[in-house]
Amino acid sequence: EGRTGYPFVDAGMRQLRAEGWVHNRVRMVVASFLVKDLHLDWQRGAAHFMQWLRDGDIASNQHGWQWTA
């Protein structure tokens, strides 16, 4: 829902829900924040992104999240 308290991360999450797309750099920043700062399992983030991404590709998404983790 974009309520982390970090404006850039929140904006990225809100854009993902509203548009089904965010720039690759935003994807990486959000993924890094969720995995490294919130200590969430990367698979949880990957599943959430695949649920909302219009251009979601399972291989690219999984690779990006694994790389970030």
Q: Residue 56: what are its φ and ψ, rounded to 5°?
A: -60, 130
Q: How confident is the model at residue 1 (pLDDT cuts 50, 70, 90)?
A: confident
Boundaries of domain holding 58: 7-68
Inside any domain, residue 2:
no
CATH number at residue 50: 1.10.579.10
Q: Does position 2 have pLDDT exceeding 90, yes or no?
A: no
Predicted model pTM? 0.89
Task: Quote the number of domains for the chain.
Answer: 1
What tokens were used for 11? 């904006």
Using alpha carbons only, give the angle 11, 5, 69 rounded to the nearest 5 degrees. 75
Q: Per residue in 9-54, pLDDT tens?
A: 999 999 999 999 999 999 999 999 999 999 999 999 999 999 999 9
What tokens were used for 54? 């219009």
